[in-house]
Amino acid sequence: MKIQILRCKTFCVLSVFVLFGLIFSGCAAMPEIIDLKQDESFTHDEIVAGMMGVGGVVSIANDLDESESRKYAGLLKDSFQSARKELVILPVEEVVRWIGNDDYQTIFHNYKYTGNLNLDFLKNQTSQAAFRYLLLARIIENDVSETRIRCPRPEIPTQFDLKGNPIIKEIAVELISTRRIDVSLDIYDLKKKILVFSGIINESKSKTRTAYYEKKDEGIGRTFALIPVRAFLEVALKPSAPSTDELLHKIFKAFARYIP
């Protein structure tokens, strides 16, 4: 967990960011995909004809128990289907049933730590599969950071001295919790036994809460007296970071829109 302490210099700077946030909040851009690799054989017609199966979601950022793995695999399927309703995507349970649970655990344990699927292991089973493409996601990073920002209290109209400098009477202490997730996605063609699509998407989101206000003229004595109170408020009012599920859903939907 990363903790940072920042300071805002003027209310004007804060206002600019707030204004841009209001303008663009209703039309958030789709996350960018990096390191995109796509085989020319991976076309929309082939995908529709061949169908997909969700292999699962693994994480090298933190260990997932069985219930979390199944939950995220279900989220991967639902997110893809919500963005690409024309695609037929089989759930992870179907893939496990096809491979067999013991072999499934071996294959995906290896995928977790190497980022590669051992296609030779599946060579004798691919003819029995009800789908052609195997969909896999790997959480590379899932990090939460906490930031403390001191800014002029925004609801108080800004006043200026004779030289045009802002007169700051109260400071708002803002607490920000941010989650950042990096996910790689791999799609394997079990018929050709090759990787046909891969890429990485990074996404982050923050939550902010005001802990308390400081008066510029409150005096040293009062400031020291309020230290324990303010320390308590910073702990008690610290916002929880956005959920992993929320960011994964956005990332998975973005991946679905990038495939043909």
Compute the average pLDDT of residues 171-177.
81
- Mean predicted lDDT score pLDDT of the chain: 80
pLDDT score, position 227: 56
Distances from the Cα of 230 to the Cαs of 8, 176, 245, in angstroms?
Answer: 19, 16, 32
Q: Looking at this protein, which amino acid is placed at residue 78?
A: D
The model's confidence at residue 137, banded by pLDDT at 50, 70 and 90, is very high
Does the pLDDT at position 120 exceed 80? no
Lowest mean pLDDT among 21-35, 40-54, 156-170, 185-199: 156-170
Tens of pLDDT, residue by residue over 54-113, are: 999 999 998 999 899 999 999 999 999 999 999 999 999 999 998 888 888 888 899 999
Q: What is the DSSP letter of 61?
A: S
- Burial (CB < 10 A; 0-12, 13-18, 19+), residue 83, is middle
How many C-alpha atoms does 174 have within 13 Å on its Cβ side? 16
pLDDT score, position 98: 86
What is the pTM (predicted TM-score) of this model? Answer: 0.76
Tens of pLDDT, residue by residue over 231-258, are: 655 655 678 899 999 999 999 999 999 9
